Structures are given as C-alpha cells and as structure tokens.
C-alpha cells in the first residue's frame, strides 16, 4: 500500500496522479489508498485540489492490492474524471 504523504494537502497515503485541466480550470488529482476495514483488500478514493478548494470522492475502488487500485484509476479517461469532479458539487 502507498506510504506516501501528499505534501501540502495533508492526506496520508495519497499520491499525486496528475493534473486535470479544462480551459482555465486546473485541478490536481490525488489517489488515496488504505486497507479496507476487514484488511482483505485495498480501497481508494480521489481528491481534487485547486488552491484552497477541495473535493473528495467516496471510497470508489476496492481491489486486492494498491497496484490494482492504481491500475483501475489509470483506466479512467479525463472526461470520466471531469464527470466525477462535477458530481461532487460546486
């Protein structure tokens, strides 16, 4: 499981996955992973950060390993990430 700490945003276990940009809007996308409560799998959720604005998804990934959570994230297109971000509110 990822042991990294996303500096500056205070999310333990989060990794910067890249930027999501459309026009002048730019968000940093972080993937947070943690052991599932039963310890049998790894769960993941996304954090979108733009200066002082933050949006966070529910735990939307559940896979056997951290690597597989990252692979599932990689299967998301930028338009799917925008749709998820927009669903999280203004």
- Can you list the pairs that 8-17 forms with residues at least 24 positions away whose Cβ atoms lie under 8 Å? 9/47, 9/49, 9/54, 11/47, 14/47, 15/70, 17/73
Domain membership flag for residue 7: no
What predicted TM-score, i.e. pTM, was given to this entire model? 0.87
> pLDDT digit string (tens) for 28-40?
999 999 999 999 9
pLDDT band at 51 (very low <50, low <70, confident <90, very high): confident
Domain membership flag for residue 62: yes
Residue holding tokens 């276990």? 13
Q: Look at the chain and report how many structural domains it folds into.
A: 1
Containing structural domain, residue 47:
12-87
Q: What percentage of the chain carries pLDDT values higher than 70?
A: 90
């Amino acid at each position: 499981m990822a042991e990294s700490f996303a500096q500056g945003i205070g999310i333990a276990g989060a990794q910067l996955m890249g930027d999501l940009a459309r026009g002048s809007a730019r968000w940093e996308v972080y993937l947070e992973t943690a052991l599932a409560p039963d310890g049998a799998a790894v769960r993941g959720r996304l954090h979108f950060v733009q200066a002082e604005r933050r949006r966070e998804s529910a735990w939307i990934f559940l896979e056997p390993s951290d690597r597989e959570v990252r692979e599932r994230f990689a299967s998301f297109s930028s338009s799917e990430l925008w749709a998820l971000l927009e669903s999280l509110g203004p």
